[in-house]
Amino acid sequence: MQSFAGKVAIITGASSGIGRALAQQLAAQGCHLALADIDAEGLEVTTAPLRSPDLRVSTHTLDVADRDAMHGFAEQVLAHHGRAHLVINNAGVAVSQTIEEMRYDDFEWLMGINFWGVVHGTKAFLPHLLAQGEGHIVNLSSIFGIVSVPTQGAYNASKFAVRGFTEALRQELCHTPIKVSCVHPGGIRTNIARSARFYQGVDGKSDAGKAAARFDQLARTSAEQAARVILDGIRAGRPRILIGADARFLDRLQRLLPANYPRLLAKLLIKS
């Protein structure tokens, strides 16, 4: 997909962060948009500046964890736009809690969005892409789908699952025209930390405000920069898209020390 002009892109989690930045940059390149999020107000903030006589922009308020809603979303998109070329399963949330203390309902909430949202988006649009004979599916994992860190067990589980699901999908579609990419961002300055469910850390203490502020300090890449890297990766047909120097460093660390990196990260992240 060398050009996005005249194409139709589907983006979940489009009310803020990377989703909003992707919508803005794709619209600037003449791409029609179907934007989805559970946050109707944030979705309107994203779409209001993008509407123009030259672009078709549809908005869809839904929960990606809801299978029926996602398949209904695909039907609405095809009815409104007539086709779909680029499916970006971007919606995501976070929970910060030790595995011992994590509540099942928090784990299920996160997996419903981070993992099942990707599955639903993929399965809802894949039959159309195959029938159409062209398309690109982009699933958002994380650098935490390559390395694990303490208090992020649920998030790690979801993002490792997205990675495995996407790599299997790519293999199954290797003899078709459909491209598949898995995105692994490092620290990106978005609202995910501030909207996360924070509980106690491994030291038995937690301060959600301080944790979110620390994340903001460590996150060196803007959502706009991340969106540019993703779109460049799509144009190049890259199956694996790493975003940020931190993601590239941790990816190398895992390759060099696959058995020992957890101990190194634990020493850095868990204060005695």
Active site residues: 155
> Under a CB-based contact definition with an 8 Å cutoff, are residues 134 and 177 in contact?
yes
Residues 6+ apart with CB under 8 A from 213: none
> Under a CB-based contact definition with an 8 Å cutoff, are residues 156 and 149 in contact?
yes
Residue 175: alpha-carbon gap to chain centroid: 25
State the DSSP string of 213-264: HHHHHH--EEHHHHHHHHHHHHHHT-SEEEESHHHHHHHHHHHH-TTTHHHH
Cα–Cα distance measured from residue 179 to residue 233, given in angstroms and rounded to the nearest whole number: 11
